[in-house]
Amino acid sequence: MLKEILKQYQIPGMLTMNNGETCTTKEMWEIRRKEILTLFAKEVYGEMPPAPEHVTFTVKGCWENQIQGKARIRKIEASFMTPSGPFTFPFHYYEPVADHPVPAIVFLQFAEHPVYCSFPVETIMEKGFAVAVLNYDTIQADRYDFAQGLAGMYITGASRWDDLCADTYAQNMKRGETQWGFIGAWAFAASRIMDYLQTLKTIDKTRIAVMGHSRLGKTALWCAANDERFRLAAISASGCSGASLSKMKDDTCERIGQITEVFPYWFSRRWPSYAGREKEMPFDQHWILGAIAPRSFYICSGSEDSWAGPHTEYLCAVAANEVYHMLGMEGLLHPDRMPEAGDIFAQGSAAYSMHKGTHYLGQFEWNNVMEYMENMR
């Protein structure tokens, strides 16, 4: 049944290489994966600058014996050079008291949408997971303004940002056609936290995830697709331009035209040109989800989250199986039907869950993701 639906929407396969050959091996996939990343950098999210040569981490605060003796907490500042000078951002790091290396989650957090996603820190500590929490606002305030935050610091051009401050359109146009937008900048910051986790002996480096909800679900997707140190991307309600099929969007869902009208600055300047042309697009979002393979993703949907399109998220995950199967892996193990509220498909090398309700990331998702990671050994 699901195969027929994917066929009906003409969801394109991702295994034809740029030179026309079919990708059939692990070695070919390494090349094909890079081709897909390049395509999505240019057309969808904008190009990521290279990682900085040095990142300095400064401990700004350290609290032992916290959360009823279960954890220690640190406030860290990460600093690195950009083409426009140094950039510094803070994050909080919670580590459970343990006598063995623990798995970790980089959690991308909203400052102003607390109802959107919860962060059950006590449960996380009890289950023995470290968590680094990044407030996305500290990288880039979420308004159409490249004169503030990280993204603009990598965009150099003829005029200075302060000449353009009042004119967001001019700022956007100063950006090269394929230069990055804010999703790229948030994802880049998550990778800098990964740099920090790499320095810790207390972390199990084989089990580090990046997790985010909604626009930060899109960010977790883009981050993990690029940064192979992440073993898992936990992607909640990422909807349009995230882990969901653009070609399947109906009138109930957000479409490329809607998202790029309100948030053009999240994406490459080319992405708006696909609005209304979804049917003609030679690719779809399962390609970038597939670019996480052979590592894993965990897609989380809400049954009543129609704007994000839970059915389009689910089928995106199903369509990404193409690459896992080519690699001889199970991929997402799922029944041949659409999902229902309460479903958890977490037995394979990728996972999917659907909570009952609207746009939210909460206890259900955290428990599912941690349980999945516990089994990843």
Calculate the alpha carbon distances from 1 to 70, 122, 306, 321 in Å: 48, 42, 22, 15
> What is the Cα–Cα distance from 227 to 190, expressed in whole angstroms?
10
Instruction: Name 6's Cβ contacts closer than 8 Å, sequence gap at least 6.
Output: 315, 318, 319
Does position 43 bind ligand GTR by CB under 6 A?
A: no
The least distance separating ligand GTR from the CB of residue 24, rounded to whole angstroms, comes to 35
CA atoms within 13 A on the CB side of 158: 4
313 part of the interface to ligand GTR, by CB under 6 A: no
Residue of 46, 49, 239, 302 interacting with ligand GTR (CB under 6 A): 239
Choose between 59 and 111: whose C-beta lies nearer to ligand GTR.
111
Query: Distance between CA 322 and CA 355 in Å, rounded?
Result: 25
Distance of closest approach, residue 258 Cβ to ligand GTR, in angstroms: 7
Among 215, 247, 255, 286, binds ligand GTR (CB under 6 A): 215
CA proximity to 205, closest of 130, 146, 308, 259: 130
| Residue 264 engages ligand GTR in binding (rule: CB under 6 A) | no
Helix (H) or strand (E) holding 234: strand 232-236
* Per CB under 6 A, 240 contacts ligand GTR: yes
214 binding ligand GTR? (CB under 6 A): yes
Q: How far apart are CA 112 and CA 48, in angstroms?
A: 26
The reply to whether 185 sits near ligand GTR by the rule CB under 6 A is no
**Contacting ligand GTR (CB under 6 A), which of 151, 259, 319, 354?**
259
Tell whether residue 343 is a contact of ligand GTR (CB under 6 A). Answer: no
176 or 272: whose CB is closer to ligand GTR? 272
In the complex with ligand GTR, the residue whose CB is nearer, 108 or 323, is: 108
Asked if residue 294 has a cis previous peptide bond (ω within 30° of 0), the answer is yes
Q: Which lies closer to ligand GTR via its Cβ, residue 78 or residue 259?
A: 259
Residue with smaller CB distance to ligand GTR, 117 or 350: 117
- One of 145, 227, 254, 305 touching ligand GTR (CB under 6 A): 254
Tell me: does residue 285 bind ligand GTR (CB under 6 A). no
Q: Which residues contact 364 (CB under 8 A, 6 or more apart)?
A: 353, 355
Helices marked H in the chain — which ranges? 2-8, 26-40, 121-126, 161-164, 168-174, 182-198, 215-226, 256-262, 286-290, 310-319, 321-326, 363-374
Considering only residues 150 to 179 of the shown chain, the ones binding ligand GTR according to CB under 6 A are: none
Task: Give burial (CB, 10 Å; 0-12/13-18/19+) of 28.
Answer: middle
Return the number of the residue (153 or 216) whose C-beta is nearest ligand GTR: 216
- Least spacing, CB of residue 220 vs ligand GTR, in Å: 12
Interacting residue ranges for ligand GTR, rule: CB under 6 A: 214-215, 239-240, 254, 259
